[in-house]
Structure 1
Amino acid sequence: MDDKFAIDILELNKRAQIANGLKHGDYRRYHLYCTKKLHRLRKALKWTQGRGRFVKRKVEEEVVSKGGGDARYLLLVLLQAERAWSHGMELKEEAALLENSKKRNKTVTRRKRQWPLRKCRKAALWAKQLEKLCVAVGVPTKTLLEAQAYAAFMSGNALLEKKQQRKASLECFQRANAILEKLEQTQGISAQQKYIYRQYMQEMEPAIRYCQYQLSKQNSSFDKLNDRQFLSELEQKGNLVQSELQTKENEKLILSVEWRGKRIPIANRRVQQYLSRIANLETSSMLDDTTQLKIIFLYNQAIQLISKEWEQLSATGMDEQVTEELGLLKDYLVSNRVQLALKRNWMSWNTAMESSKAVSWRQRIRLVEQCIQLCEEILQLKSIQNDIETSKFWSHRKLFFRAYCRFYLASYLANRHRWIDSYLLCIKAAEDMQQVSKKEWRDEWIEQRHIDALQENITRQSCISKAYAFLEENQLIDKWNDLSLDSNSAVSIHTPLVNRLQEIVLPTSMETSAKEWKIVDLQPSFMKVPCKPFLFDLASEELAFPDISVFANEETKPDQTRKGLLGKAVSWFSGRK
């Protein structure tokens, strides 16, 4: 068994048919698609005929297995069968139109009726060759069973056109139907593949009933499939398919995931590879920032593939179970990516806040806004909306991050002296924090201490903004700025407030200093002054004081200085200035 040749034959066929005309019964368009696809494959594989003499190149076991093996050689044979079958159905429609027309030629009509038979026989031969190649190369059992069912289906279509081969056609259809039923019942098969198996069985059901009706008219016996050897082999192969799927899961090839109590099979091989790489990254190395970015990138790639596949299947009108399964798988991938990205943003925010480097308000706001967007993204998932507890948990997370964002915006506006806007944002942040209940908080990496710290910061910023807004409104902001606000002031806290109106003293602790605050002394202290002698006041009228005219100012005496230059000199040397 070689996983390189693992091909979902029936799924590839059905998707190509629906996307290229058969949704509306346009066999010509599908025939042209198969021709162009064959040409592109031959060029890619360098399997063209060249310009020399034509020599038919057969796809054999040696060709398929050379160079390590290439599954595209099997697709060449499959497309040959599809092209022949679609061309035969196109010619059959043309023959039916020609037969119903008034102007018809018997020779042309007979020839037109024979062409579809040849094309159907050729399609059956190509399908048989595909089955032989799958057996020879050693493809996985699931691919082999699909090839056998496809070969039996094509053989039944070819034999159905012949009136004498109704019984053989019925046996072929019954074999194909038995194989598809066994594959549908196998555990580990995705709902999408099961839906495709049911579609093929529904297509074969009218042909089976038609063959049974014709055989009953001819009084021919027909029974259910009683080939014991075939049924026993089919049972063994069905068990082998289930064991192979289990082996792949044990080899860390993720074929299904379990989420919210449901097992979701993964049919897309590229998504399986992405999830396997994610599992290896999570277990092999430390989840540093680079590894987390790689995992997020892989999740994004897988989500894009699932979204594209879901859109295609929704457009083709697939079964609700298939689209529901793909929707659950997409929700699972989105949920894991959001949780990882949210945790990464929160850890980087904590690292930035704990570092000695200053972090700008814009960087803080940007990080918290990213967290809000991630919470909104996961709240929009249908599977989350249906679960009340999970939806409530993510709503609380969103409120917590939104409160942080509003607090940072309020702090930024406060630095810009926009006090009213800052105060209003603090009120909104406080309203968000009131809705976050600490009792129901069950987050793994956001602790309750973060909630307490945020509430305290919001309250402090609200008080500061409201106070400054009041001062600004009453034009007192300049006087407020003149006040000295210093905890190391020389004025003590024990000094009454009346005596220190120009200085604000910050207490060291609320509990110890609240009892010692004073606005004014209720028992005012008296200042000691010398008492005026009462005796001197009474005797002042009876006392006689000496004459003080002797000590009068000399400026009142007449000016005895001489005028002129000679007079000034004489006055100088004589002591009279």
Structure 2
Amino acid sequence: MATEKSDVTTSMEVDDQIGTNAKFSINGLIEAIKILADAAWITFWGLHSLSVMLDLCVDSRRYCSARLRRLYKSLKFTHGRGRYTKKSITLPTVTEVRFLHLVLYTAERAWSHAMEKRQLPDGPNARQRSYLIGRLRKAVKWATLFAELCAIKGDSRTSLEAEAYASYMKGNLLFEQDQNWDIALKSFKSARQAVMAEARSQQAASMTEFHWLGHRFHISNAKTRVSILKAQELEKELHDRIEGALPAEKRLPVFDKIFAAYNEARASIRNDLATAGNSENIKDDLSGLDKAIGAVLGQRTIQRNQLLVSIAKSKLCKARDEKNEEVTKPEELVRLYDLLLQNTSDLSDLLSSGRDRKEEEVALSQECEFKSLIFRAERCFFLAKSYSSAGKRTEAYSLFSLAHSLAADALKKLRSVTNHDQVMTKEVETLYNSCRSNSCIEHAMGIMENEKVPEDLSKKISNVSISRSDKKVAPRIAAYQPGFQAIARNPIVLDLAYNSIDFPSIESRLKKDKKGFISRLWG
């Protein structure tokens, strides 16, 4: 946990900052409260080595003590050199944000000391347990004072976060006193959820406009404001996770929450559109806000699908491991790039649907055009990979050549822009080189396979005998020439036209003939 605190407090080096307003906006402190609380949960649930837990608690206590010494000295709030004179931190004392830091670190030091006793290898004995509960009471006392001071001296967000931190300390004390972690856990979760919901509502009340690509849209519906604010907080969380190098698979659920929040906002906007009546100004504002949120959704969808592509690419060349993890096939990447092409097309259509387009909209449309070119080249590349894996060298070579041409076109257009994206340009250059090398490989493989076919065939035929007496050779080929044999002929077709012929009369010829004996008998 000491490492977590070190990372947090490096961003909290505000010893030289002096508050000029009555209300302190201490965003660094808010983040400190969150991460300190998260680190505490990890200490309880995530670690299984008692020695590691003990080391973390000791380091945390030492760090808090050192930090407190620095704060007391910089604030000139020492307790005297000779005789100890206790100085209390009260409301008039808090003239700058560092006095709030003093209270926070004192509470955190008491908590760490209690956890140090709790994580002893053989467990705390009765005396140590009594001391542990006493230190937790101290932590609750200082956390409660911290919440009271922040309620007056801090802004609304700081006040609510401090209240959640105090609830967390109370949950720890409840657990140690009653040995019922379920009660403590429910107490902390309910308090934190209530505090965060209230904080979001207060922030939403002050949120009157939505800014998007140079446009400002008025938000009158409270439900829409809360949904947009929730989505923006999730986007900030997503950015923090990317900066913290969190695995890609664990960032996907955050995208799903962002989509749900923005879809809730769009549903509220469309309900307002249905009940707007004949007011054209209100309808225009609502339509513009709906378009803006739709465009943000389109951008996040592209980012999510690009994240899926990066996950699939990481598994493309992996062998199947012991867990029988599925290996990505090139066809899956082709499908993902089909989705990305559809996403960029939809976003481009949405951006081109307005009339008064800002420079930011034009720039985003141009970015969509570049991405579309790159996605087409990538899709063609992985389609060629799928043909290559099937042994179809001609088709693979043709597709690699086409992907090479598309990558060259995208690279040319990217470089023509003054402030082009360096990361995107580097990715296209890598694709360009990969297409070139793979097309050469497919060409060479095709020639080798064509040369090898006659050679293999000649070897096989050289071992084949057409002699029937050679029984050692299993295969036979037909003898040349084949022997003669009778074959069936077509049936004879009768001349059916005979019955339709009219023959000439020969009666005149019969009268001239002499009648014979028999003819006379018959008259």
Name the TM tier (shorter chain): 0.3 to 0.5
TM-score using structure 2 length: 0.39
TM-score (norm 1): 0.35
